[in-house]
Amino acid sequence: MSIIVGLDIGGANTKVCWLEMESGRVVRAKGDSVYHEVWRDPEGLQGVLEDFKYNWKMGDGQTLQGVALTMTAELCDIFKSKAEGVIAILRLVEQAFTDIPIYVWTTRGVFVSPSQTRENPLDAAAANWLASATALARSPLVKDEAALLVDMGSTTTDILPLVRGEVVAKGRTDLERLLNGELVYTGVLRTQVQAIVDCVYVNGMPCKVTSEYFSITADVYRLLDLIREEDYDVATPDGGGRDLTACAQRLARVVASDPEEFGRNGIYALARFIQEKQIQQVFEGIWQLLSRIEQPWPKRLIMASQGSFLLKEVARRLEWEAIPWWECIPGARESYTLTAYAVAWLLATQLEVS
C-alpha cells in the first residue's frame, strides 16, 4: 500500500492531502487546509506542517513513502527572490518530514529531488497548477475528451485547456501564464475590491472608488449570501468581524461611505455589481485562451476551489457542462483541495508503476 502526503504551500493557505493507494486504486484519503500567512511568519510554517503529521498518525505497519510537494508561497515579498523562497520552503518541509523522501513537482511536469530543486529552484516555483491539470488530464473520465479546467481560489484563477490527455497551456512561469490569460489574479476571498472595479454606481451616478485597502471579495460574497461566515477564513482588512454588518461597513468604505448612506438595497446593488465585474475578469481570460484554440471548442468546464459557485454561472453563460473536479479523479471528494490531492495522486501512481 502506498501512503503519500501531498502538500501545496501557498502564501496564505497550506493545503494537505493524505492518500493511501493499493493496486492503482485509492483506498483512503484525507484532506485539510490551514490559513497561515507565510509573508508574516515563514518559520511558523514548520509548526503547521508538524501539526499535520501529529494529527494524522499512521496505523500499525504503515509507513509514509513520500511527500509530494508543490508551492506558490515563494512569491511572498519576505523573500528577496522566488529562488530564495523555494529553497526556504523546501528547508522547512524537510525539517518537518525528517527521513521521509520528498518529491518536488516542477513546471516541467516531473518530480525532482530536493538536491535537484536546489540546483534549479525556479523549476519548482508556482507549479501547483500543472499538478492539478496533469492529474485531471490523465484521469479516466477526462483523458479522451477536451475540457477547460478553471480553478478559482481565494486569490487567483487558473484557466487551463485539457485536450486528449494533455495539458495544452502555453505558459509555464507565472509571467508567461499572465501573458497568455491562463492565470488571472482574481479570487473570491482575498482580492481587493479596487482590483476589480475602479468605478461603481451610487444612486444612479458613477462614482470612483478609493485606493485604500478597505474591502475584499470575501465581504462581497458574504453580503450576497454566497459564502458562509466560516468560509471567510482569511484576515479581514480592518481586523474586524466577518458578520454581515462588518462586511457592509467595509464595503461602504470603498466609496468613502457608511452603510447608512446606501441603505440595504444600495449595498446589495454595489456587491452585485462587483460580482458581475469579477465574472467578466474570468471571462476575459477564457476568451483570450479560446481565441487561440481551433474549433470545436471544449464544451465542458471543470470547476475547482472556493470560486466554484461563480464558475457555475460562467459555464451557464457559455452553455457548457459544469463538472466538479472531484468527479473526475478516482477517489477524490468535495472536501479535498485539488492541488494537494492531485500532486499526491500523481506521486502515488508514479511510485506504484516504478
Residue 304 has pLDDT above 60, yes or no: yes
The pLDDT of residue 237: 97
The verdict on 56 and 93 lying in the same domain is: yes
| Nearest Cα residue to 288 out of 197, 179, 143 | 179
The verdict on 178 and 205 lying in the same domain is: yes
The pLDDT of residue 53: 82
Which CATH number belongs to the domain containing residue 196 in this structure? 3.30.420.190
| Tens-place pLDDT, residues 26-85 | 888 888 999 999 999 999 999 999 998 877 766 666 778 999 999 999 999 999 999 999
The pLDDT of residue 60: 61
The verdict on 264 and 159 lying in the same domain is: yes
Which CATH number belongs to the domain containing residue 345 in this structure? 3.30.420.40
The verdict on 307 and 346 lying in the same domain is: no
Taking residues 179-205, report their average pLDDT. Answer: 96
pLDDT band at 174 (very low <50, low <70, confident <90, very high): very high
Which residue has better confidence, 59 or 169? 169
Number of domains composing the chain: 2
The pLDDT of residue 6: 96
CB 215 within 8 A of CB 195: no
The pLDDT of residue 151: 98
The verdict on 56 and 113 lying in the same domain is: yes
The pLDDT of residue 293: 84
70-80 burial code (b ≥16 CB/10 A, e <16)? bbbbbbbeebe
The verdict on 99 and 20 lying in the same domain is: yes
In sequence order, what are the residues at sequence separation of 6 or more whose Cβ sits closer than 8 angstroms to the Cβ of residue 88?
Answer: 42, 74, 79
Q: How much is the mean pLDDT over the chain? A: 93
Domain that residue 319 falls in: 145-324
Residue 354 has pLDDT above 70, yes or no: no
Which parts of the chain are beta strand (E)? Answer: 2-9, 13-22, 25-35, 66-71, 102-105, 111-112, 147-152, 157-163, 166-167, 183-184, 199-202, 205-208, 300-304, 321-324
The verdict on 184 and 262 lying in the same domain is: yes
The verdict on 135 and 228 lying in the same domain is: no
Rounded to whole angstroms, the Cα distance separating 78 from 205 reads 41
The verdict on 320 and 337 lying in the same domain is: no
The verdict on 154 and 170 lying in the same domain is: yes
Taking residues 154-159, report their average pLDDT. Answer: 97
The verdict on 48 and 185 lying in the same domain is: no
pLDDT band at 353 (very low <50, low <70, confident <90, very high): low
| Tens-place pLDDT, residues 198-243 | 999 998 999 999 999 999 999 999 999 999 999 999 999 999 999 9
The verdict on 83 and 212 lying in the same domain is: no
Helix, strand, or coil (residue 315): helix
Q: Which of 60-74, 134-148, 153-167 has the highest mean pLDDT?
A: 153-167
The pLDDT of residue 27: 84
| Tens-place pLDDT, residues 307-335 | 999 999 999 999 999 999 999 988 899 99
